Structure formats: structure tokens, C-alpha cells
Amino acid sequence: MDKFTITITRQFGSMGRTIAKELSEELGVEFYDRDIVEEVSQKLNLPISQVSESEEQASYRFWRRMFPLGTDKEYMQNIIFDVQKEIIKELAKKSSCILVGRCSDAILESNENNMNIYIYAPLEKRLDNCINRLEMGEAEARRTIADVDRARDAYHKKYAGFLPSCPDHKHLMIDSSMLGPEETAHWIAEIARKKFNLS
């Protein structure tokens, strides 16, 4: 069997990470999310918090006008992304795997055995997931959904050149509230088996 990769981009609260974990168990392959942050941290000898923070910030037009030559923070963010990109490529070469976020859809898009998936859900369902599954208060959940989605969109637009929800770069886009995380993962696994000719 040839190696394959599945990338998952997602809205916050859509349970994309949970779906990725379920999918990895069903297909019997590794999945990578925070592991990538930890490896970048080790390679650059930076605190994990600094690497995580770089993913939550991107250069907006205002900052580019204010600092046309860039900033030290932007310079470090670019270094972190370059290292992260190499790690993602290495993981994809090593074995079949599932990768969550971090522009992995753009990084691996040209790979023949790759499938890009976008997980989304209606706002009310995402709020419900945040409150009942992630144990957030409603105000915190609303604020976090808005902040994280905005940060992910800006980061992805900066480094991938398109939004994580752009259908031109996706093989599958699915509303996780339709079936729930476990069944969503199951049906994605069925599609992956057909696409990659898995037994």
C-alpha cells in the first residue's frame, strides 16, 4: 500500500481534532497536531508557548503599512513556519498519517496520495460543543470561536495564500453536526478507503 496523507482544517468548536483522532484510530495511522508544535519548539530551542503564539498571529494590512520592512515578531513567525513546513513534509514521507491544521493542506496539496478535508458546523452547534465538551462558559466560548477562527484564517491566508475553507483546495467539506464527531470520522474513513484503495 502506498503512503497517504489526510489533512484536516477546521472551524473552532467543530470538533475537528476529535474527528482527526477518531479517524486515525479507525484507519490505524498516526495523527499529528500539537506534536508538530513540540517538535518546532525543540528544533528552534523556543518555548512551546512562543511557537503556539506565532500560529495565532498574522500580518494584517495595518501592520504592513506601519512596518513595511517587517518586525522581529514577523521574522520569527516566518522562521517557525519554515521549520514547521519541513516537519510536515518529513512526517508525510515517513508514513501514512493525518495532519491537523498548520497549512498542511497547502504544503501537501501536490502530493498524489493526499486528501484535504474541511470540518465546519453551525455557530450554535459549535457553541454547544465548547460549552458541553470543552467545558467553557458561553461568553468565553463565543469570544474564543471568533478569535481563533479569525487568527486561523489570517495565518492560513498569509502562508497558504487562501482561506482554510476555500473549496478549490478541498476534496471534502463536511458539517460535523450532521452526524457527530464519531460518525463523521467513520464516514471520512470510508471515503479514504475508497480513495486510497485501502483494504
Is 186 in contact with 132 (CB distance < 8 Å)? no
Residue type, 134: L
Q: Which domain holds residue 25?
A: 5-195
CATH number at residue 68: 3.40.50.300
88-101, pLDDT tens digit by residue? 999 999 999 999 99
Q: In what order do the strands lie in the sheet with 5-10?
A: 30-32, 97-100, 5-10, 114-120, 172-175
Of the candidates 10, 62, 39, 61, the one whose C-alpha atom is nearest the C-alpha of residue 188 is: 10
- Give me Rg for the CA atoms of the chain: 17
Give alpha helix (H) positions in 28-137: 34-44, 48-55, 61-66, 72-94, 104-107, 123-132
Q: What percent of the chain shows pLDDT beyond 90?
A: 74
Give 53's pLDDT tier (boundaries 50, 70, 90). Answer: confident
The total of structural domains in the chain comes to 1
* pLDDT tens figures, 114-170: 999 999 999 999 999 999 999 999 999 999 999 999 999 999 999 999 999 999 999
Report strand pairing: 97-100 vs 5-10.
parallel
Q: What is the pLDDT of residue 67?
A: 42
